[in-house]
Amino acid sequence: MSLTVNHENTVSDNQIPQRSSNTLLNDQQWMYLKKKYQMTKRELQIAKLICCGMSNEMIAADLGIRHGTIKTHIRNLYRKLWVHNKISMLLKFIEDAGVLFDNSHSPMEMILQSNQDVVGDVSDIT
């Protein structure tokens, strides 16, 4: 399903994409991060959706709240994590969860492994 945004940057209800079921972190890791950074339930919910690749507009439509409210929650997350963008936030989550659960892999190795699990062995393509 593709997302179509009209000229006013709004998303109609029938154009909301489905959430990705593929996530880099499990529930135990998310609970650890929630506690570590003292996230509210809504901040945690938004952080998870961001890490699934959803845009601010998609998150607002999915949760039924205003785009400005999403931006406020994201700004609060950035402040709590001491980051300035979504990529840094994602990498910080992966690094912190990885330190807790698996010291043998760097954040980039975890991302690459997760992508390989979704795509499969690239040698099968050639």
With a cut of 80, say whether residue 106 has pLDDT above it.
no
126 falls in which pLDDT band (50, 70, 90)?
very low
Q: What average pLDDT does the structure give for the chain? A: 77
Task: Quote the radius of gyration of the chain (alpha carbons, Å).
Answer: 16
C-alpha distance across the termini of the chain, in Å: 27
* Nearest to 60, CA basis, from 13, 115, 1: 13
CA separation, residue 116 to residues 80, 100, 112 (Å): 31, 22, 6
With a cut of 90, say whether residue 5 has pLDDT above it.
no
Domains of the chain listed by start with CATH number: 37-109 (1.10.10.10)
pLDDT mean over 55-81: 97
